[in-house]
Amino acid sequence: SFGFGEALGSFLNGDTAMFLDTTVVAGQINDPAKSKVVGKVGWAMHPMGVRRGSQTGGFGIGIPKNAENKDAAFLLMQWLTSKQGDKLVALAGGNPSRFSTHADADVNAKFPHMATFGEALQHADPDWRPIIPVWGKINADLGTTLSKVLTEDLDIQEALDGVAERTKAVMTEAGYYTWK
């Protein structure tokens, strides 16, 4: 199969024309030590239909309950998520967590794509996928099936009909289809 790592590697090597996934890879794409496409990549908003939209995901930061230096860890978290800390993360090629950092003049001078990322976040829907416990199982089946359609000789309609049947079975087993 052709997963995230393979897709990113192919894009960084200049072997594929597009990489529609996460913005967190922008630092790697713009790093000459890791990428052959530095300066050759543009960024754009998702195409607009009736309304504009964007998916969202993210990374979290936390303190384990068994941490020895909880107070110091909390202070570090506060600093990393502060305006100053977030800007330094962005200037180092990381993904900022503040709208103000995406709009920062210094950040945009170094990484012009940050303004587009900030605009996309204004339209992001954090609930773009179903917020149900069985979504992971359904999503894995859909992703695996679509990957097989692209890499094997599977009929798209038959493959998606199979996903629909399996999804209904998962949803029924989870108690979502209780009506007659």
CB 129 within 8 Å of CB 112: no
pLDDT tens for the chain, 180 residues: list them.
678 899 999 999 999 998 877 788 888 998 999 999 999 998 888 777 888 777 677 778 899 999 999 999 999 999 999 999 999 999 998 888 899 999 999 999 999 889 988 888 888 877 778 889 999 999 999 999 998 998 898 999 999 999 999 999 999 999 998 876
Is 30 exposed, middle or buried, given 0-12, 13-18 or 19+ CB atoms closer than 10 A? middle
Kindly state the tokens that stand for 168.
């209904």
In this prediction, residue 121 carries a pLDDT of: 86
In this prediction, residue 16 carries a pLDDT of: 93
Q: What angle do CA 153, 4, 136 make, to 5 degrees?
A: 85
In this prediction, residue 87 carries a pLDDT of: 97
CA 25 distance to own-chain centroid: 9
CB 107 within 8 Å of CB 114: yes
In this prediction, residue 1 carries a pLDDT of: 66
In this prediction, residue 180 carries a pLDDT of: 65
